[in-house]
Amino acid sequence: MAKRKMSNLLALAVLSLLTERPMHPYEISSVMKQRELSTVIKLNYSSLYAVMETLQREGLIVPVETQREGRYPERTVYTTTDAGQSELLDWLRSLLRQPMMEYSQFAAGLAFLGNLSPIEVVTLLEEHSRHLEKQMSETRASIERGLQIGVDRLFLTEDRYTLALLEARLTFIRQFLSEVSDGTLTQMRDGGLVWRVARLDLAFLGSEAQEEHDPTEDNEL
């Protein structure tokens, strides 16, 4: 598979919106905010202009006219080319077809939580849970607002997916905290609660240990 010309998901949003209709960059950012797309794709003006310059250089979008409104400076309106529309469809198909590795900061924190005490980890994850519950409440409210004003459920799919991820993370954290409290992951040592680590010495039994004992020798007479 050929390497994609663009990998910044903001470019995907630009291609999609410009396929709907020609727009200038300010209008693109306004539509993204109105549709709350900025909750799934990071948006800032400097990145948006840089992305659009790259898309134009790659022949995926082209300027079609320049507009001036009142005292505002001239704004260049862009649209997608045939190549841009093909890139959009191919990109969407690749995103939906196969899961891709996404490096989560939360997962990285979990990978190294053994550097903190169990008591501190519990405190931090309880705070994390409260943030999740707030985000879930806000996401549910956003979905409800969309439904009330007549937004088709199809266009609320990313919000419903976000809610499902938040719920799954909260379920995981609650289960993890339960395992900490019931002693599955921890033990008392020297009057304090520490992580339960079983047979750490086994981690150092590698190739050298295997070389010291050749199992074929056991079959020799």
3-50, pLDDT tens digit by residue?
A: 666 789 999 999 999 999 999 999 999 999 988 888 889 998 889 999
Total number of domains constituting the chain: 2
Look at residue 188 in the predicted model and tell me its pLDDT: 85
Confidence of residue 1 (pLDDT cuts 50, 70, 90): very low
Tell whether 91 and 115 lie within a shared domain.
no
Helix (H) or strand (E) holding 64: strand 61-67
Which residues does residue 187 pair with via DSSP β-bridges, in sequence order? 194
Other CB atoms within a 10 A radius of the CB of residue 51 amount to 22
Domain assignment present for 220: no
In sign, the C-alpha dihedral spanning 128, 129, 134, 140 is positive
The answer to whether 84 and 15 are in contact (CB under 8 A) is: yes
> φ and ψ at 21, to 5 degrees?
-165, 160
> φ and ψ at 188, to 5 degrees?
-85, 135
Tell whether 115 and 195 lie within a shared domain.
yes
Helix, coil or strand: residue 185: coil
Domain assignment present for 217: no
Last residue of a domain, one of 33, 67, 97: 97
Measured CA to CA, the distance from residue 60 to residue 82 in angstroms comes to 8
Domain assignment present for 46: yes
Say which residues have a Cβ less than 8 Å from residue 100's Cβ, sequence separation at least 6.
Answer: none
pTM score, whole prediction: 0.77
Last residue of a domain, one of 97, 131, 159: 97
Residue of higher predicted confidence among 16 and 115: 16
175-179: long-range contacts, CB 8 A cutoff, minimum separation 24: 176/125, 177/122, 177/125, 177/126
| Domain containing residue 120 | 105-199
Domain assignment present for 27: yes
The answer to whether 23 and 31 are in contact (CB under 8 A) is: yes
Look at residue 180 in the predicted model and tell me its pLDDT: 93
The answer to whether 32 and 13 are in contact (CB under 8 A) is: yes
**Average pLDDT for the chain:** 86
Tell whether 52 and 131 lie within a shared domain.
no
Tell whether 86 and 119 lie within a shared domain.
no
Tell whether 164 and 148 lie within a shared domain.
yes
The answer to whether 25 and 44 are in contact (CB under 8 A) is: no
Confidence of residue 206 (pLDDT cuts 50, 70, 90): very low
Domain assignment present for 213: no
